[in-house]
Amino acid sequence: MLVHLGYVSLSLTLEDTSYSRTMTYTNYKSRDSDDSNKILYKKISDNLDGLLEVLKYNISNNVYFFRISHKMIPLATLNEVQFDYMNPFLDKGKVIGKFVRDNKIRIDTHPDQFCVLNSTNDIVVKNSFGILDFNNNLFRLLDIDGKMI
């Protein structure tokens, strides 16, 4: 039996490569919206580039499973921040998706701890559906069939 090992989210070996550079809501709101969006989109673009580098590193080390972090797209699940995190990055997503498919990498996500579908609070349940939609959109962005854990 062939076993394909993997790991979750962060590579500690690739010191200069990250795909989870983030932006806080406070930092986002401290600038005018054009400036904030420019910084946010740059971080997302850099994160996608970083994800591809991590996946290439994984393949060169026979790692065929990887759980991507929701931090790849900062602020995407925050109701107070609305932006298009799909269309501007479809080309990069397709490149990453092709690499994943060509190398038969298994990708999954894990919704964050705020995703509580059985909450008694209607707002938490509504936000949980948004978190699940976001995780599904990560697979759509990358044009892959991933799994949500």
Question: Would the pLDDT of 113 be above 90?
Answer: no
Cα 40 to Cα 68, 76, 102, 142: the distances in Å are 19, 10, 30, 19
Question: Domain 6-148, what fold?
Answer: TIM Barrel (3.20.20)
- Residue range 74-102, pLDDT digits in tens: 999 988 998 999 999 999 999 999 999 99
Reported as a pLDDT band with limits 50, 70 and 90, residue 140 is very high
pTM: 0.87
Domain boundaries in the chain? 6-148
- Residue range 30-44, pLDDT digits in tens: 998 889 999 999 999
Mean pLDDT of the residues in the chain: 89
